[in-house]
Amino acid sequence: MTVRQALAHHWPEYLMEAAGLGAFMISAGVFGVVLEHPGSPVRDAIADPAVRRGLMGLAMGLTAVGIIYSPWGRRSGAHINPAVTLTFFRLGKVQTWDAVFYVLAQFGGGLAGVGLVALAVGVPFAEPPVHYVVTLPGADGIPVAFTAEVAISFLLMLTILLATNSRSVARYTGLLAGLLVALYIAIEAPLSGMSMNPARTFASALPARLWTALWLYFLAPPLGMLAAAELYTRLRGASRVVCAKLHHDHSSRCIFRCGYAAAAQPGAPV
């Protein structure tokens, strides 16, 4: 497929991917202000930062679930993360130009989401400690943050691959992904800020003009997810990866190299 054909036929999915990460960043920005800004009555009422992280995790986990199971998420596949798209590209499920435009859309959507929150909320969103909900290494330093980002990205992608390629579990993939997002924010965020997503980190870093260890968030999530893909293919084989959607709704168009038609045949090993 040429670049012109990709744009002509698949532009709706690209816009849906942009909207998905945009919605995620809007949710992160709004809940970040509500839970962490010193002027917020919610922050005054909940003094324990661990409890606030738990609530933030719950909010973002539910946001992720909502995006994955939304009509647009079911159609685009709800990657909303360049590392996810890159991994499915490596697995042969995403065509080259679709991968390129998905990544561009994810970066653009993330920036748009942060920009909308900045316009609507203003100073409380821009000033510390919220500071455009930037992701930064924790007090334990960059090596720990890098290791943590690789580990959580590895576990997320391995979970996605195991779930989406199991006939009995596939419908719950979005719930499992949302649960991991919630747990990561509640537990892992003090180590790395909990990104797993280069576009998500860049969307906050650009308006904040804060580039601390940006390379970490561009390198660690793809490394962890590609490692998970390598493990999965060694254990089960690349042919067992059915599609690149986190939730496959058969009534929605699928632009990927999809194997669901074959998988639906009696006796198919999925």
DSSP designation for 258: -
Distance between CA atoms of 85 and 244, rounded to whole angstroms? 8
- Helices (H), ranges, the chain: 3-36, 41-45, 49-69, 71-76, 82-90, 96-121, 123-126, 142-164, 173-183, 189-192, 198-208, 214-236, 260-263
pLDDT, residue 11, reads 96
pLDDT, residue 192, reads 97
List phi, psi (to 5°) of 263.
-70, -25
pLDDT, residue 238, reads 84
pLDDT, residue 265, reads 42
pLDDT, residue 262, reads 60
pLDDT, residue 261, reads 64
**Which segments of the chain have a pLDDT < 50?**
264-270
CATH architecture of 3-248: Up-down Bundle (1.20)
* Residue 38 neighbours by CB distance under 10 Å: 11
Distance between CA atoms of 26 and 150, rounded to whole angstroms? 25
pLDDT, residue 270, reads 40
CB 135 within 8 A of CB 212: no
pLDDT, residue 239, reads 87
pLDDT, residue 242, reads 94
What are 249-265's pLDDT values in tens digits?
Answer: 888 999 999 988 665 44
Kindly report the pTM of this predicted structure: 0.94
